[in-house]
Amino acid sequence: MFSKLVKLLVIAVISAAMLAGCGQNKGSTTQSSTNTGQKDNFTIVTSFYPMYISTINVTKGIPGVEVVNMTKPQTGCLHDYQLTPEDLKTLEKANAFVINGAGMEAFLDKTIKQQPQLKIIDASKNIELLKDESGEENPHVWVSVSNAILQIQNIAEQLAAVDTKNAAQYKNNAAEYVKKLEALRDTMHKSLDGTKNKDIITFHEAFPYFAKEFNLNIVSVIEREPGSEPSPAELEATINTIKKSHIKALFAEPQYSSKAAQTIAQETGAKVYTLDPAVTGEAKSDAYDAYIRIMENNLKILQEALQ
């Protein structure tokens, strides 16, 4: 009788220990499957802010799908960006990595080498790329609303292929967001298509896709390489171009110093405006419409500058 009681106590202790082991991750943000004990969440990491905005719209309201932006929201374009140890830790937890592609993420080869199993979602897949004067492909695809639509569809399609359980929801969300972007594009065309003044000077090579979409003519670019001040010869060339073409508006970007643009403005009498390539922002609860709000503000600025 005593021996049987001991056996029952042992069984009870073992059972309690097993139950405690199953619940040890209670405080974690990662949910566990009740059947397998494996991670049930699908974690998507995005390379930078434009991809984050696109991806949270594609994944909106889907249970168990988490979106994490690898870089800080104020990082800006990833020109010459170097991965940090923190970035690598973030990517280790990812099931999929959404990138702009088109050469923006120069560190991608290193990432693939370190994590060959990571699923890469290329938002610029099959999008026709523009080239600059040196023949290099321009990666600022998302600045065109039409291309942003194609990127949304790319992200949804590729995520659906990787995470088949949520395939229908990815595609439905993408379709809803595309409707908003199409309405934005229509509004911008109605406002800009009739503009007689089509000549603009931009800060760096972020706006060729935008200019092509709305039939604007980029006469000159102040800084070919963002963050690198133009040489005196380049400044003089831009000043001469403005004087010859009688351009009245220069477009700086909020992510970079407008010092060079202000210098040019003083020499030519042109006015400096700000166009935002939608590359930085805050990861707030209302970030879903961040791209749309930025483009609506760009439209207002263009209407004022080109009137």
Residue 267 within any structural domain of the chain: yes
- Here the tokens at position 19 are 């139950």
The end-to-end CA distance of the chain, in Å, is 98
141 and 218 assigned to the same domain: no
Rounded (5°) CA angle 136-201-129: 25
Q: pLDDT at position 39, please?
A: 54
168 and 215 assigned to the same domain: no
Q: Which of 131, 162, 187 is the last residue of a domain?
A: 187
Q: pLDDT at position 70, please?
A: 96
Q: pLDDT at position 174, please?
A: 98
Q: pLDDT at position 143, please?
A: 98
171 and 243 assigned to the same domain: no
E strand or H helix that includes residue 2:
helix 2-22
> What span, in angstroms and rounded, lies between the C-alpha atoms of 204 and 215?
18
163 and 52 assigned to the same domain: yes
241 and 256 assigned to the same domain: yes
Dihedrals phi, psi of 45, to nearest 5 degrees: -105, 135
Q: What is the pLDDT of residues 73-122, one digit of tens each?
A: 888 899 889 999 999 999 999 999 999 999 999 999 988 998 999 999 99
**How far apart, in Å, are the Cα atoms of 264 and each of 5, 124, 213, 272?**
92, 35, 27, 9
**Which among 294, 300, 298 is positioned nearest to 53, based on CA atoms?**
294
By residue count, the chain amounts to: 307
For 229, the domain range is 194-275
> Is residue 154 classed exposed, middle or buried when 0-12, 13-18 and 19+ CB atoms within 10 A define those classes?
buried
pTM attached to this predicted model: 0.84
Contact 278, 290 (CB under 8 A): yes
Q: pLDDT at position 29, please?
A: 26
Residue 34 within any structural domain of the chain: no
Residues 6+ apart with CB under 8 A from 227: 79, 256
Q: Which of 167, 187, 207 is the last residue of a domain?
A: 187
Q: pLDDT at position 38, please?
A: 39
Helix axes 49-58, 167-192, angle to 10 degrees: 120
Contact 78, 101 (CB under 8 A): no
107 and 205 assigned to the same domain: no
Dihedrals phi, psi of 7, to nearest 5 degrees: -60, -40
Q: pLDDT at position 257, please?
A: 82
Q: Where are the alpha helices (DSSP H) in 125-274?
A: 145-162, 167-192, 208-213, 232-245, 259-268
Q: What is the CATH number of the domain that holds 72?
A: 3.40.50.1980
Hey, is 122 helix, strand or coil? strand
Residue 144 within any structural domain of the chain: yes
Residue 124 within any structural domain of the chain: yes
Residue 299 within any structural domain of the chain: no
> What span, in angstroms and rounded, lies between the C-alpha atoms of 41 and 169?
15
Q: pLDDT at position 58, please?
A: 98
pLDDT per position in the chain (307 positions), as tens? 434 433 443 344 333 333 333 332 332 222 222 333 335 799 999 999 999 999 999 999 999 999 999 999 888 899 889 999 999 999 999 999 999 999 999 999 988 998 999 999 999 999 999 998 889 999 999 999 999 999 999 999 999 999 999 999 999 999 999 999 999 999 999 999 989 889 999 988 999 999 999 999 999 898 876 667 788 888 898 999 999 888 988 999 998 888 888 999 999 999 999 999 999 998 777 899 999 999 999 999 999 999 8
Residue 118 within any structural domain of the chain: yes
**Which among 55, 76, 45, 124 is positioned nearest to 278, based on CA atoms?**
76
Total domains in the chain come to 2
Q: Which of 136, 159, 187 is the last residue of a domain?
A: 187
- Here the tokens at position 116 are 């060959």
**Which among 111, 138, 112, 119 is positioned nearest to 127, based on CA atoms?**
138
